[in-house]
Amino acid sequence: MSKHKFKLLIFDLVFMILLVAADQFTKYIAVLKLKAQPAFGIIDGVLEFNYLENRGAAFGVLQNQKFFFIIVASAFLCVIVYVLFKSPDDKKYTKLHVLLIMIASGAVGNMIDRLRFDFVVDFIYIVLINFPIFNVADMYVTFSTAIMIYQVLFVYQENDFDFLKIRK
């Protein structure tokens, strides 16, 4: 492993720790200030903080499937770690690293909640469109996945992912 690759992976780890810490801090504040309280309006009719203990996945599906979520998240994390280690230390893969770390951070942040509480703390509610209540980790996963899909479809070339091919 080159010195540059090692530094990139250290950056990935530090960035992930910071993102998970930010997610966990916001959830801590939500529990402290919002639990058993009425919704707190940020922008009237648009955005509010509203505490929710989510025992399911996005939109509340698959309620009480803690071990399923932990297994799926662990599998995703293994794939992400594999891709991070296998990716060349070329500058064009920096965005890929950042996006993968954001996805991993979101998965880890919500996994911590599931392991500690048996639910995920959600608290951000977009009233304007009646969007399901979510949290910072969900934003990491959603935004970075959307950007990654764009990158894969319109920026990266087909051979840019040859490093993932299994060699015989």
Q: Which residues are known to be catalytic?
A: 122, 138
In the three-class reduction of DSSP (H, G, I as helix; E, B as strand; rest coil), residue 45 is classed as coil
Scanning the structure block, which residue is given the tokens 């969007």? 131
Please state, in angstroms and rounded to a whole number, the distance separating the CA atoms of residues 97 and 31.
31
Those residues whose C-beta lies under 8 Å from the C-beta of residue 138, and which sit 6 or more positions away, are 58, 106, 110, 122
Nearest partner of 83 among 71, 100, 99, judged by Cα? 100
What is the CA angle 111-28-36, rounded to 5?
105
As a whole number of Å, the end-to-end CA separation of the chain is: 21
Please state, in angstroms and rounded to a whole number, the distance separating the CA atoms of residues 151 and 164.
17
Single-letter residue type at 2: S
